[in-house]
Structure 1
Amino acid sequence: MRKPGCLVLILGLVAVAAVLFAWHDWRGAGPAARPLSVQIAEGSSLAGAATELERAGAIGSARRFRLYARFLGSGEPIKAGEYGISANASAAEILAMLQGGKVRQRLVVVPEGYPSIMVAEVLARTDGLTGAVPSIAEGSVLPDGYAFQRGDTRAALVARMQKAMRDYLAASWAKRKPGIAVRTPQEAIVLASIVEKETGKPAERTTVAAVYGNRLRVGMPLQADPTVIYPITKGKPLGRRILRSELTAKNGYNTYAERGLPVGPIANPGRASIDAVLAPAQSRALYFVADGTGGHAFADTLEQHNANVKKWYAIRRARGEM
C-alpha cells in the first residue's frame, strides 16, 4: 500500500511540473518562426482575438491563451488594430501588446517637391489604406512621412497632410521677414514650389528665393523652366527638352510668356523651400545658371550672367553634351 506521504510528494511534483509548464508556455518563446501581421477586428473579444492569433500561428493554442490570460494576465481589455508580432514572441508579450494597443504603424512618405498627381499615385498604391484618393489641390500637402494604421482611409490621410501644411505655413508666415516679395501665404506657396523645383542644393534655396523675389520687385519675368513644364505633365518629369512653342504658350503658368507668379503652385514644397521664400538671402542677384557641380552661379548683372553662361557651355562641351 502506497504511503500517504509519497502520494503527497507525487501530487506536489505534478503540481510543480504543471506550474513550470504553464509558466514556460506563457512566458517562453512562441511558435511564430517569422514576424507576423495580425489584424484584430473592432469589437473583438479575447476569445476572438485568441482564435485569430492561433490561425496566424502566433500562439499554439487559443484555449490555453485564454486560460493563461485569465489567471496570469492583467485583466485589461484588448484593443483592436493591426499588430506586428515578432518571431517567437511569447503569449505574455502578445497579450501585453494587445492590451496596450501597441498597433503596427505603417508609413507613407511624400518627398519634397512631389506634385499632387504623384502624391495621389503614392497613396493609391500604398497597401493598408482604404477608399479612393480624393482630389488633392496642388501645393496643399506638406511633404513628410506619415504614419497610419491598416484600414485608415486615403481621404483621412490626405486631410492630415493638408492640415500639416496649413499649420506649418501659418506658423512660418507669422515669422516672415519684413519686405519680402510675396504678399500672401498662397503666394508664398506658389513661389516656394518654384524654388523647390529649381534647386536640389539646400544651401542655395534662400539665394534662389532672393533671385525670384528681386525679379518680382522689378517686374522681370521669372523665366522658370518648371513652370513651363507643369501644364504639360502636371509636374511629372518632361523627359525631353522644352519646345520653343511651349516657351511662348500663355496658360497662366508659363513664366517666360507672362510676368509675375503663375496662377498656382507647381508642386508641394517642403519646409525648407517655404522658409527660404519667407526669409530669403540678402542678395541683389537677378540671374543664375548651372555651375557644373550640381549647384548654380549667381549674378547681379546680365554681363556677369553671360560670363557664367559661357563657363557653363564650356563645361558642357568638355563633357560632350553640346
Structure 2
Amino acid sequence: MNARSRTEKRRTGRRVLISLLVTVLLLGGLVGAGAYLWSHFGAGISDAMGWTSNDYEGSGKGEVVVVITEGEIGEDVAASLKEAGVVKTSEAFYDLLLAQDTEVAFQPGSYRMKSQMSSQAALDALQDPANRMAFTAMIPEGKTVEQTLELVSAGADIPLKELEAAAKDVKSLGLPEGVDSVEGWLFPATYEFEETTTGAEAVKKLVDTQIQVLDELGVAPESREEVLTKASIVQREGGRVEDFPKVARVIDNRIAKDMLLQMDSTAQYGYGQHADGSVWSTDEALADDNPWNTYVHKGLPKGPIANPGRDAISAVLNPPAGEWIYFVAVNLDTGESVFSTTQEEHEAAIAQLNEWCSANPNKGC
C-alpha cells in the first residue's frame, strides 16, 4: 500500500469515527430532550392518550376526615378531597358530579373517608349518612382563623357567629399581653365536641391545645407570638414538611442581614388574597402598606398569618445551619422547593417554576 492509499484510509477512518460520534451525540441529545419534555408534559400526554387515569380505582385505604363547610359547592368539595388525598384529581371528581342526572347537594359536616378512593367511591361515601361524624371537626395546618371557625362550625354544629364572637374575646383566652388576635393560636388537629359545647368552649379548647404544644416544646410565654408568627410563615411557604427547617433558616438569615423577608404569603394575607390558591401575588398585594406585608416592612409581620402545626413550630425552634436567603417552589404537585444563596441561583429556580407552570396550567400558578 502506497503512502497516498494509507493517508486516504486514515481520512476515511476519521470520517467514520466522526460520523459515529455525531450520531451518538445526536441520539444522546434526543434522549435528553425527550426526558426533559416527558418530565414536564408526560403526565398530561399519558392522561390524554389513555395510558394513565386521573382517577383512582377501588374503595381506598386507611382513614381520612374531610370537612364540608356551609355554602361549599361541588368544585369546592372536589378541591378538598384532592387536598386530603382522597381522590387523585379534583377534575375527575368534579366531572363525575357534572355527569349526575340530578344535582348533588352536600350537607356540611365532617365525613369519615379513605385515601386513594375512586371518585365514585368518594361520592358514594359522602352520600352515606353513616360516614358523617357528629360533633367532630378536622382542622388542617395552615388555615386562618376565619377558615378554622368555618370548619369547627360545620363539624361541631355550632353557629358560626357564636364562634366568631368567642374568637374576638381574646382577653378571656389566656393569651400573652399584647396579643390581639387568635390567629396562629388555634391548633390544627381533629377535635371531638359534645352536643352541648358552646362556641366559647370550642375556641378555648383549640387555644388551650396550642398552648399545651408550646409548653411541650419549651416555648416561653413571652416568645410564643414571635414563634407562632415565624411558624405560620413556614407553614404557608414550605411545600414539604422536610423543607420546613430550611424555610425557618431563610427567615432567620434574612432578618440577620436586615433584608426584607419578602414572603408572598404575608403580602397575600395582608391584602386578603391568601385563599385564592395561587403562588403568585398581584402587584397590588405586594405594594400594599399593611402591617403584614413583608415586601414593604422589614422584620416579621404584625402577627401570625395562619395556624401552624407542630412540625412548623419545631422547625422554627430548630433551624439547620445554612446560608440560604432565597427559596421557591418548583413543583406545586410535590411541594418541592429549591433553596439558593445567590440571586442568580434564585432566578434559575424561578425559571424552573415557570417551566413547570407552563406544563401544568390551572394547578396553582
Aligned residues: 212
Give the 3 Å change call, closer, same or farther, for CA 320–249 of structure 1 in structure 2: closer
Of residues 136-145 and 300-309 in structure 1, the stretch that sits farther from structure 2 once superposed is 300-309
**SS at structure 2 position matched to 1:166:** helix
Q: Deviations over 1:147-199 (max 9, x none)?
A: 11211112111101101111211331349xxxxxxx82211100100110012
Q: Note the 1:64-75 alignment, pairs <5 A.
A: none
Equivalent residue, structure 2, for 1:135 = 167
Equivalent residue, structure 2, for 1:303 = 344
8 A contact 1:128–1:152 mirrored in 2:
no
Unpaired segments ≥5 residues, structure 2: 1-132, 169-181
**Structure-1 separation of matches of 2:234 and 2:351:** 24
Q: Deviations over 1:241-292 (max 9, x none)?
A: 5321221111101111111000011001111100000111222111112223
**Structure-2 separation of matches of 1:138 and 1:256:** 21
Unpaired segments ≥5 residues, structure 1: 1-103, 176-182
8 A contact 2:138–2:191 mirrored in 1:
yes
**SS at structure 1 position matched to 2:328:** strand
8 A contact 2:134–2:155 mirrored in 1:
no
2:162 maps to amino acid: A
The structure having more radius of gyration, on CA atoms, is 1
**Structure-2 separation of matches of 1:238 and 1:308:** 20
From 278, 283, 291, give the equivalent of 2:317: 278
Question: Is 1:154 the counterpart of 2:193 in the alignment?
Answer: no
From 146, 154, 157, give the equivalent of 1:125: 154
TM-score normalised by structure 2 residue count: 0.53
**Structure-1 separation of matches of 2:280 and 2:355:** 20
8 A contact 1:115–1:235 mirrored in 2:
no
TM-score normalised by structure 1 residue count: 0.60
2:227 maps to amino acid: A
Q: Note the 1:1-322 alignment, pairs <5 A.
A: 106-129=135-158, 132-133=162-163, 134-135=166-167, 137-174=182-219, 184-233=223-272, 235-237=274-276, 241-292=280-331, 293-319=334-360
1:126 maps to amino acid: G
8 A contact 1:128–1:151 mirrored in 2:
no
8 A contact 1:297–1:308 mirrored in 2:
yes
Report the identity percentage.
30
1:135 maps to amino acid: A
**SS at structure 2 position matched to 1:291:** strand
1:153 maps to amino acid: T
**Structure-1 separation of matches of 2:354 and 2:336:** 15
